[in-house]
């Protein structure tokens, strides 16, 4: 891997600022001062230091994002703000991408990583990863809908969903709204909204609470993100093994 890319990956800023570090003779590889950022190094063997401090290389990054409404689950877009735009520049250099999609108006848990094989495992239809959502529904949701979800919902395009656990948290008879939680096992486009449409109901608000073993940290404010903890990483690796 190129030295300048390695330094950018490890959080030493843009290629331009990395160039300045190198020009300023701040960077050594195996104790040799380097003048050219284009040289190739082996991140696993070579000891790269900046201002005398050895730096360690991390190939993969994993961030938990509390996605806000109004941003799209993509890496770039000419018109809309993306979830990647919410990351600090230093955290963008490893080229993370969202694992799966949440609609523009959906909030909640989104994993961002540059680990393609972990993402593939989590998104694989064969894995049938549980996803738990909280929603506000227009109208009163009751036993009829709970049973329909339990039996299995057929979407308007004929896709038959796996039985889903729908729980009614509360109903507001005055406002004619229901607060629910639902656990689904697939990741079809607009799936939760379409499942409710299949029982003639409309989702007014949607938030993802969990995906497989990963649970949205309730201390994480909307629009904020953090690296996964060692424990979360362990559980995720175990789950996708």
Q: For residues 50 and 204, which CB has a smaller minimum distance to ligand URA in the complex?
A: 204
Q: For residues 5 and 190, which CB has a smaller minimum distance to ligand URA in the complex?
A: 190
Catalytic residue among 46, 103, 130, 138: 103
Evaluate whether 224 touches 66 at the Cβ level (below 8 Å). yes
Query: In the bound complex, what is the minimum distance in angstroms from residue 51's beta carbon to ligand URA?
Result: 45
Catalytic-residue membership of 115 = no
Nearest of 31, 34, 45 to residue 1 by alpha carbon: 45
Query: In the bound complex, what is the minimum distance in angstroms from residue 144's beta carbon to ligand URA?
Result: 20
Residues forming contacts to ligand URA in the complex (CB under 6 A) are 102-103, 106, 190-193, 206
Environment class of 143 (CB within 10 Å of its CB; exposed 0-12, middle 13-18, buried 19+)? exposed
Query: In the bound complex, what is the minimum distance in angstroms from residue 164's beta carbon to ligand URA?
Result: 11
In the block, tokens 């499942």 appear at 195
Q: For residues 104 and 177, which CB has a smaller minimum distance to ligand URA in the complex?
A: 104
Nearest of 65, 69, 109 to residue 204 by alpha carbon: 69
Alpha helices by DSSP H, the chain: 3-9, 15-23, 89-92, 116-123, 143-151, 191-197, 230-240
Query: Catalytic residue positions?
Result: 103
């Amino acid at each position: 891997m190129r030295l300048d890319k390695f330094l950018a990956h490890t959080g030493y800023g843009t290629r331009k600022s990395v160039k300045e570090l190198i020009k300023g003779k701040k960077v050594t590889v195996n104790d040799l001062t380097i003048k050219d950022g284009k040289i190739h190094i082996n991140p696993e063997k070579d000891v790269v230091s900046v201002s005398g401090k050895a730096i360690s290389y991390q190939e993969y990054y994993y961030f938990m994002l509390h996605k806000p409404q109004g941003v799209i689950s993509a890496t770039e877009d000419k018109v809309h703000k993306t979830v990647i735009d919410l990351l600090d520049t230093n955290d963008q250099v490893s080229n993370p991408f969202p694992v799966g999609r949440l609609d523009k108006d959906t909030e909640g848990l989104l994993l961002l990583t540059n680990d393609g094989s972990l993402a593939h495992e989590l998104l694989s239809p064969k894995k049938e990863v549980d996803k738990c959502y909280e929603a506000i529904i227009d109208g009163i949701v009751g036993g009829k809908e709970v049973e329909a979800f339990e039996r299995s919902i057929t979407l308007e395009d004929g896709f038959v969903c796996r039985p889903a656990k729908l729980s009614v948290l509360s109903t507001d008879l005055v406002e004619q709204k229901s607060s629910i939680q639902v656990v689904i096992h697939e990741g079809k486009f607009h799936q939760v909204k379409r499942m409710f449409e299949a029982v003639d109901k409309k989702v007014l608000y949607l938030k993802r609470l969990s995906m497989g073993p990963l649970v949205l940290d309730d201390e994480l404010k909307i629009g904020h993100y953090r690296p996964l903890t060692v424990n979360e990483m362990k559980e995720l690796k175990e789950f996708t093994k």
